Amino acid sequence: MTILESPLDPRAAVYDYVLPAGESWLHPIRKGQIFRILDLEGNQAVDTLFYSAAHPEERYSATDTIRRQGNLYLTAGSALISSEGNVLLTLVADTCGRHDTLGGACAAESNSVRYALDKKYMHNCRDSFLLAIGHADCGLTKRDLASNINFFMNVPVTLDGRLTFADGISAPGKYVEMRAEMDVMALISNCPQLNNPCNAYHPTPVRLLIWDPQ
């Protein structure tokens, strides 16, 4: 776990937006820009995917990222690897210390299997992703929704290899920051989940900031 603070001043950001709980966000980040996700109230899960802006079929790949760094968790120093083996972004600061690569996004199907059949119709991340790409002329479709990053989410793996959804280790004001190594599109679902203890059953907003290259 690596705790590394950023020297960047939010007043110098070229983009500064508070994404409400449960909302989605699709936005370009140009090569060299720095992108920060700030957990305003703590333990919010921020389901995130990245695509090459020039060739959206090239996307964030969890398996390539995990294999390249030899570790399941993301923190400062992690490189987010694409399905073509290129670096999309590099994590340059992190005050939370650990982010999940395995838990995936909540969906109508997983909500009904994990919790109860009548949870199927609740708002979920997969529907948020689909809504965001459906309303944008970005060339992305359902088949482009691969395994995502869960920023701020704590999904420890036990000694015998089991996944556990544990209480969060994030807190109000913690952030993760990354530098785009190519022009990318970021797709976020600020998770609306109401059935999972990782966010204390209470989804909250996050703040998204972008700085131009220094």
Which residues of the shown chain bind Zn ion in the complex (CB under 5 A)? 106, 125, 191, 193
DSSP for 114-159, written as a single string = HT-GGGTTS--HHHHHHHHHHTS-SS--GGG----EEET---PBPT
Q: Which is nearer to Zn ion, 6 or 154 (CB)?
A: 154
Q: Which residues contact 211 (CB under 8 A, 6 or more apart)?
A: 8, 12, 13, 14, 33, 34, 36
Q: Which is nearer to Zn ion, 92 or 125 (CB)?
A: 125
**Least distance to Zn ion from the beta carbon of 63, Å?**
21
Spatial strand order of the sheet with 87-94 comes to: 15-19, 206-211, 34-39, 174-180, 87-94, 79-81
Tokens at 56, concatenated: 């959206």
Q: Which is nearer to Zn ion, 34 or 145 (CB)?
A: 145
**Least distance to Zn ion from the beta carbon of 193, Å?**
4
**Least distance to Zn ion from the beta carbon of 114, Å?**
11
Q: How many CB atoms lie within 10 A of CB 117?
A: 9
**Least distance to Zn ion from the beta carbon of 22, Å?**
9
Q: Which is nearer to Zn ion, 52 or 193 (CB)?
A: 193
Q: Which is nearer to Zn ion, 106 or 210 (CB)?
A: 106
Nearest alpha-carbon partner for 35 in 23, 24, 27: 27
Q: Give the separation between CA 64 and CA 144, rounded to whole angstroms.
A: 16
**Least distance to Zn ion from the beta carbon of 88, Å?**
21
> Which amino acid, one-letter code, is at 93?
A
